[in-house]
Chains A and B, each alone.
Chain A
Amino acid sequence: MKKTNLAIIGGGPAGLSAAICAASSGAKITLIDDSLELGGQLIKQTHKFFGSKKQFAGIRGIEIAKNLLQEIKKYKNIELIGNATVTGYYEDGILTIVQGSNGDIFIKLLPDRIIVATGASENMLTFVNNDLPGVYGAGAVQTLMNLYGVVPGNNVLMVGAGNIGLIVSYQLLQAGIKVEAIVEALPRIGGYLVHASKIRRLGVPIYTSHSLKEVYGNDGVEKAVISEINKDFEFIPGTEKELKVDTVCLAVGLSPLSDLLWQAGCQMKYIAELGGYVALRDDHMKSSLDNIYIAGDVAGIEEASSAMLEGKIAGLNAAVSLGYRVDNFLELNRNLRKELEELRANPLSEKVKIGLEKALLKREVDQ
């Protein structure tokens, strides 16, 4: 059996930041990620990020991933297990890991502490023929285009005008693909308006209070019918529009990938503002179980910038809880929390803040 001080599950911005922060204390870290390349969502993001200069604003997602990986390589006490999925957590504290493209390598790992930074999975939408080839999740479209250089289709209907829908639309346009329209069920655009405006300038209409009704086609998507909806989200008859598209891309939200936390028996709660079921946590990102910490989208759907800060907080506190020394720990911890607070001090984060309030475990003693 393999042993380690700290197992970090997930190599996105949250997991990587956690590893760097914890490694500086000298603790032995094992980071497990199921992709071929580390970086999580970041490696698909070819656009420049928002956030403050400190959190890499104005830098493209892929570049941020590269920076984090370079940092990681500096630490001899970080072990990376790539192309490997953590499949289970057992009562005796053991993680089971399946590695390799055929899944034929089996590893048992006993960590003193665990940080779950597994990110999120995409939501599906119900409509007639949603199983036709040509209906994709936005994440799949991004992976095809930005990792493998494959175009998903020629004429796309984007469903969802949150940041992901807007950004993926922009990336499709950059790849020379026509985006026929973006539909959004809510009466207003959910993503950043600067993103919306830059897509409008390229001639793509955005229909708010509209949804996708049906998709037609034989072997794949041939056309899509969109329709206006009322405030109860019911289709308004007679408002249908037919679009000739061969691809429908769904960007209708993400849900925290929290299976391992359920399995471990963490206290879980459905919090709509955070995207679904999340583990309750204290302000050190520790779950209701003393050995399990969380960070990033699995703790609530937010941003890479907040994921990195949460990762640092979790990494720092997990290492210190094991008795490792970090200079200026209290000050560092306080500063990280302050940075998070500043980041969330905008009207668009109101929802997230309400959710986080609901997800907070109050610690008995506060240092």
Chain B
Amino acid sequence: MLEKTGLPTDDDLKKVIPDKERLAKGAVVIIECFQKIPCDPCAISCQFGAIKPFKDINDLPQVDFNKCTGCGICISACPGLAIFVIDNNYSENKALIKLPYEMLPLPEKGKEVYALDRAGKIVSKAKVVRVQKIKNKTNIISISVHKNMAMKVRSIKVEDKKNEG
């Protein structure tokens, strides 16, 4: 499926999503990278040893979720923009998603944006909690969404200024 459409299946995702207990503990990384390619910046970027060092440059990233602090450093290191951090403890009914963003304009902190799923479909609205400008230009945007959207939302769309009220 993934090879045909570019969309990971539920089975693919099962392999990379931490278990309920870990998710309940707060911010944790989810690496949606399913194909062996010659690439290793994620493993090198993690200062906490949460992404196992690669034996072979073509290895798939393997995460020790208990070591992951959810810091998000790896997000902007990944050339595949495949890394996200999910914090299910953000508030009573909201989860925080940190995602990589290379589009302009950047969203503004505090504003609402559209939240998109893996197929680019608008599935809800999200609030921009933080905008981190990163030197390598893969910026990190933190958004809050309803908890039941935490495993669906993987992208945002900034509302076009021209179409605003």
Do the two chains belong together in a single complex?
yes
Using CB atoms and an 8 Å cutoff, list the residues of chain A in contact with chain B: 47-53, 57-60, 173-174, 176, 187-189, 192-204, 206, 208, 305, 342-349
Residue of A whose beta carbon sits closest to that of B35: A193
Q: How far is the CA of A47 from the CA of B137 in the complex (A)?
A: 10
B56 CB contacts on chain A under 8 angstroms: 342, 345
User: A173-B103, A174-B103, A192-B37 are known contacts. Are A201 and B154 too (CB-CB below 8 A)?
Assistant: yes
Residue of B whose beta carbon sits closest to that of A342: B57
Do A208 and B120 have beta carbons less than 8 Å apart?
no
Q: B119 is contacted by which of A48, A50, A189, A203 (Cβ under 8 Å)?
A: A203
Q: How far is the CA of A199 from the CA of B119 in the complex (A)?
A: 9
A279 to nearest B CB, angstroms? 25
Residue of A whose beta carbon sits closest to that of B79: A48
A187 CB contacts on chain B under 8 angstroms: 4
Secondary structure type dominating chain B contacts:
loop
Q: B120 is contacted by which of A53, A60, A194, A202 (Cβ under 8 Å)?
A: A202
Q: A197 is contacted by which of B8, B45, B116 (Cβ under 8 Å)?
A: B8
| B118 adjacent to chain A (CB < 8 Å) | yes
Do B6 and A193 have beta carbons less than 8 Å apart?
yes
B140 to nearest A CB, angstroms? 14
Do A197 and B104 have beta carbons less than 8 Å apart?
no
Do A347 and B36 have beta carbons less than 8 Å apart?
yes
A47 CB contacts on chain B under 8 angstroms: 79
User: A174-B103, A343-B57 are known contacts. Are A198 and B37 too (CB-CB below 8 A)?
Assistant: no
| B48 adjacent to chain A (CB < 8 Å) | no
Do B6 and A50 have beta carbons less than 8 Å apart?
no
Q: A194 is contacted by which of B3, B35, B104, B137 (Cβ under 8 Å)?
A: B35
User: A193-B6, A203-B119, A345-B56 are known contacts. Are A49 and B79 too (CB-CB below 8 A)?
Assistant: yes
